[in-house]
Amino acid sequence: MKNIITIIITFIVISCNTVETKKEEVVESLTKEEKLKELYLKTVKPLFKEFTEVDIPNEFRIDKNDLSVNAGAATNYVEVSQGLIEYDKNYIQVFVLTHELGHLVTLKQAEQFHLGTEIPNGAKTNAYKKAEYLADIIAMYLFTTQEVALGNELIANIEVLQSLLGPEIFTHPSAADRVALINEYVEKSAKENAKTAFQEMFRRIWKME
């Protein structure tokens, strides 16, 4: 009887190990495209659950000719570059995708803060650049409060993000300026309530000259 029990226990252990191995094999069998899509659907999209009036897209398109780390979002789809698919740091992939979805919810967020329905041009900072700053802050707030481990990894390696952001052009601030505001938010959110820090930064960027 003792031998029979031992055999049964051994069989159960082997079966469990086999199941775990199969699970690992399924994960490993995913292509890089599938892994990024899964990251988007399971990690990024849920960050925007409070924006119930905004349609956060499910469709995932790939620009195979774009080897830079890049993405874009529209009301019906998200488009990612082949470079983002190939990139090996999840915290960067999540930030890039969260930033793009941040553009979709910017005006809804502004409405919640009673700021208006159109990003105003400043004397020095046009509406395009403000839109980039605002999407950055939305991304940092949602990312660091809901995906804390990945958010901390991004903060600890912020220079990696800065190296991927481009130079100043008409529609985008410089990488240094964008990271400076991100760092300011990180410092403020560490000293006070994260939501309060987010609202203060959002309002200041919106009214930036």
The structural domains of the chain, with segments of one domain joined by +, span 1-30, 31-206
- Give the Cα separation of 79 and 82 in Å (integer): 10
Do 100 and 78 contact (CB within 8 A), yes or no?
yes
Q: What is the DSSP letter of 64?
A: T
Predicted confidence pLDDT, tens digits, the chain (209 residues)? 545 444 433 444 444 454 454 444 445 689 999 999 999 999 999 999 999 999 999 999 999 999 999 999 998 999 999 999 999 999 999 999 999 999 999 999 999 999 999 999 999 999 999 999 999 999 999 999 999 999 999 999 999 999 999 999 999 999 999 999 999 999 999 998 999 999 999 999 999 99
pTM of the model: 0.86
Helices (H), the chain: 2-29, 32-39, 82-86, 90-112, 127-146, 148-156, 158-164, 175-191, 194-206
CB 165: neighbour CB atoms within 10 A?
18
Do 180 and 135 contact (CB within 8 A), yes or no?
no
